[in-house]
Amino acid sequence: MNIFRLLGDLAHLASIFILVHKMHTTRSCRGISFKTQALYVLVFLTRYIDLLYTWISLYNFVMKVFFISSSGYILYLMKYRFRPTHDPSLDTFKVEYLVGPCFVLALIFNYRFEVTEILWTFSIYLEAVAIFPQLFMMQRTGEAETITTHYLAALGAYRALYIPNWIYRYFTEGTVDPIAVVAGIVQTGLYLDFFYVYVTKVLQGQKFELPA
């Protein structure tokens, strides 16, 4: 464990707390893509299936259980408690275009052709693009609540912080995980546009608005 990975994981935790906080205080899931949140449940379930047969550390175990359960809880909030506040007509990105290609890619580019290994690889590829429905939704409405932008900033920072972690691990441990690294760089890249608006507008106290 190094400082970059720890900060990355803490940013990931923070993003979830911000999202749940937003929903509870505004009693609404307006502006949040249900599809993106559902993809995260799929990502966590397919990646953390190793909970059933591997022990890494208490930290690793607790975090995995937290990510699975909190993502399920968010889905529950959106589907039941705050359902009337969700507008499916804005959440129109076709997830088949993400899940299908990610699965095919996982079948082709993986470390070993085994079920759990392919599921792990699939989860890495899917996580990289799972934010698309959310970004697509914001593109359509052209705006976002400030709290939603804090959520996205923390979520984007999480994978961005994994990049210096991988560089650090290469020099200290000699390990490189090409699948995670390439997907992580793509994932971070998808946030660059958002980060630009976040830093130049939201952090200056302005509303998050995209040019028409």
Partner 1 sequence: SVRPPVKDEL
Residues binding partner 1 (CB under 8 A) = 5, 9, 12, 50, 54, 56-57, 60, 63-64, 67, 111, 120, 162, 165, 170, 173-177, 179-180
* Torsion sign over Cα 67, 22, 147, 96: positive
Smaller CB separation from partner 1, 64 or 140: 64
CB of 64 to partner 1, least distance (A): 7
* Closer residue to partner 1 (CB): 29 or 154: 154
CB of 193 to partner 1, least distance (A): 25
- What's at 51, amino acid-wise? L
Least separation in angstroms between residue 92's CB and partner 1 is 30
The candidate with the shortest Cα–Cα distance to 4, out of 133, 160, 121, 144, is 160
In angstroms, what is the minimal distance from the CB of 56 to partner 1?
5
CB 28 to partner 1: min, Å: 29
Residue nearer to partner 1 on the CB measure, 54 or 139:
54
The Cα–Cα gap between 50 and 44 comes to 11
- What is the rounded distance in angstroms from the CA atom of residue 15 to the CA atom of residue 54? 27
| Cα–Cα dist 72/138, whole Å | 23
**Contact, 149 vs 156, CB < 8 A?**
no
Q: Which residue has the tokens 């992580």?
A: 184
- Upper half-sphere CA count for residue 116 (Cβ side, 13 Å): 7
**Least gap, CB of 34 to partner 1 (angstroms):** 23
Task: Select 2 or 92, whichever has its Cβ closest to partner 1.
Answer: 2
* CB nearer to partner 1: pick between 5 and 30: 5
50 vs 145, which CB is nearer to partner 1? 50
**Coil, strand or helix at 177:** coil
Span between the terminal Cα atoms of the chain, in Å? 44
Total number of residues shown for the chain: 212
Write out the DSSP string of 155-166: HHHHHHHHHHHH
